[in-house]
Amino acid sequence: MTSIPAANWSGAAEAAAPWNESWSPNGSLSPPPPRAPAANFSNQFAQPAWSIALWSLAYGVVVAVAVFGNLVVIWIILAHKRMRTVTNYFLVNLAFSDASVAAFNTLVNFIYALHGQWYFGDAYCRFQNFFPITAVFASIYSMTVIAVDRYMAIIDPLKPRLSATATKVVIASIWILAFLLAFPQCLFSKTKVMPGRTLCYVFWPGGMKQRFTYHVIVIALVYCFPLLVMGITYTIVGITLWGGEIPGDTSDKYHEQLKAKRKVVKMMIVVVLTFAVCWLPYHIYFIVTGIYENLNRWKYIQQIYLATFWLAMSSTMYNPIIYCCLNKRFRAGFKRAFQWCPFIEVSTYDELELKTTRFNPTRQSSLYTVSRMETSMSIVFDHNDGESTKSTRKKRAPSQEANLNGCSRRSSKATSTVSSYINSPYTSVDEYS
């Protein structure tokens, strides 16, 4: 993420050379600045102190909230067994990507965009050009896999869900593909020491045409295609969940499950829409400036770049806020994380939300009670039989076996039914897996 509007650094002929190109997280380059008279040493993009202070505050808030918020999300999921679900493991991957971009790239790119001077060396130049595409790819495809998983769970619930091993394989595959897509960034990254400043840029052997082609490919793969997939899947899921209810099914269990599924899908739709809105102006900026290169010499182009880049980077800080507002368990987790604050109080209910097992006795099915009674009766019957009743037992064996077998079958059926009750609505009505 080192793309900056080309500063009109006058007085240095090298500033007009083709190597004054820099890179953005989505693969866009800024064109070289025009030549200017050697006597003029001004920088047309120099900003007043108050403007620099405001931009620094804005970017500082994004970095602080994104890094700390996403680290808390990772802690909530990994530190509580009940939160370790397939969906939440993808949220860990998403949180790690967002926190990494905010910590390692946002401020560095902001400083480079503000000063037009690369202070961080050749190795970090390569990392700065390489890692943002990797992290954004991992973020958006983690959301895509969650959308597909939600689709399968709701549209075809009888199919097996992803196992722990399969989840790890999918996450590893996402990162491998991300590395491959971003590798050209690392391969062609260069630093150029010039009189008065150092540049970090990506030098494409094929020139501007190759750069623009790569840029279009990256936009298609990290924005258009995954959003298309998520749009289709969530549209179908939304029609299924909000389009109507099963005729004749008025059970509390059914309605609580439906409500829980709606909450989960609603939260993920908000996450996806937030990402789409935050990144759209950024992609439009580089498409437009790539087509109309003269815009890069416009006096206010740096302000537009800083604004669109801030909006794109702010997407890394919204997800923890969305989780906290729309999910009870994450809200309970954030309360635990911030319980040292005097105005934050962790209730007993919040503690129960993060426990490994939580079963509300008032919601137990009568089948559960029957199965427990039948099991107890069978055990008592077997243990109380003495030697004095052997002959009676032999005579009554066939009928008793039939009764016991029937009882066993009823017990098994009841236990199976209760198991589905426990696993689905009563463990939590907002199950996030």
Q: Let me know if residue 332 belongs to a domain.
A: no
Domain extent at residue 412: 360-426
Handedness of CA 22, 24, 28, 34 (dihedral sign): negative
Q: Let me know if residue 341 belongs to a domain.
A: no
- Quickly list DSSP for 79-135: H-GGG--HHHHHHHHHHHHHHHHIIIIIHHHHHHHHHS---SHHHHHHHHHHHHHHH
Q: How confident is the model at residue 47 (pLDDT cuts 50, 70, 90)?
A: confident
Spatial separation of the C-alpha atoms in residues 337 and 346, rounded to whole Å: 10
Spatial separation of the C-alpha atoms in residues 278 and 265, rounded to whole Å: 20
**Are 62 and 167 within one domain?**
yes
**Are 211 and 119 within one domain?**
yes
**Are 122 and 212 within one domain?**
yes
Which burial class, exposed, middle or buried, applies to 5 when counting CB atoms under 10 A from its CB (0-12, 13-18, 19+)? Answer: buried
Q: Let me know if residue 274 belongs to a domain.
A: yes
Spatial separation of the C-alpha atoms in residues 185 and 217, rounded to whole Å: 13
Spatial separation of the C-alpha atoms in residues 264 and 269, rounded to whole Å: 9
Q: Which of 366, 381, 356 is nearest to 418 (CA)?
A: 366
Q: Let me know if residue 203 belongs to a domain.
A: yes
**Are 136 and 185 within one domain?**
yes
Q: Let me know if residue 108 belongs to a domain.
A: yes
**Are 267 and 314 within one domain?**
yes
**Are 290 and 157 within one domain?**
yes
Please answer whether residues 234 and 265 qualify as being in contact, where contact means their C-beta atoms are separated by less than 8 angstroms: yes
| 190 bridge partner residues | 201
**Are 294 and 374 within one domain?**
no
**Are 150 and 226 within one domain?**
yes
- pLDDT of amino acid 244: 64
Spatial separation of the C-alpha atoms in residues 211 and 295, rounded to whole Å: 18
Amino acid present at 78: L
**Summary mean pLDDT of the chain:** 75
Query: In sequence order, what are the residues at sequence separation of 6 or more whose Cβ sits closer than 8 angstroms to the Cβ of residue 51?
Result: none
Query: In sequence order, what are the residues at sequence separation of 6 or more whose Cβ sits closer than 8 angstroms to the Cβ of residue 325?
Result: 331
Check pLDDT > 80 for residue 58: yes
Residue 266: give its domain's CATH number. Answer: 1.20.1070.10
Amino acid present at 314: S
**Are 366 and 294 within one domain?**
no
Q: How confident is the model at residue 349 (pLDDT cuts 50, 70, 90)?
A: confident
| Unique residue bearing structure tokens 């150092």 | 198
Q: Let me know if residue 115 belongs to a domain.
A: yes
- pLDDT tens across 380-425, in order? 444 444 444 444 444 444 444 444 444 444 444 434 433 333 343 3
| 303 bridge partner residues | none
Which of 284, 307, 326 is the last residue before a domain boundary? 326
**Are 313 and 365 within one domain?**
no
- pLDDT tens across 144-169, in order? 999 999 888 888 877 887 888 899 99
58-67, 107-116, 179-188: segment of lowest average pLDDT: 107-116
Please answer whether residues 5 and 45 qualify as being in contact, where contact means their C-beta atoms are separated by less than 8 angstroms: yes
* Domain total of the chain: 2
Q: Which of 353, 346, 348 is nearest to 328 (CA)?
A: 353
**Are 313 and 183 within one domain?**
yes
Please answer whether residues 52 and 114 qualify as being in contact, where contact means their C-beta atoms are separated by less than 8 angstroms: yes
Query: In Å, how far are 233, 234, 285, 310 from 152, measured between CA atoms?
Result: 9, 11, 36, 35
Which of 282, 303, 326 is the last residue before a domain boundary? 326
Please answer whether residues 220 and 175 qualify as being in contact, where contact means their C-beta atoms are separated by less than 8 angstroms: no
- pLDDT tens across 178-235, in order? 999 999 999 999 999 888 888 998 999 888 888 888 988 999 999 999 999 999 999 9
**Are 249 and 318 within one domain?**
yes
Q: Let me know if residue 338 belongs to a domain.
A: no
Q: Let me know if residue 385 belongs to a domain.
A: yes
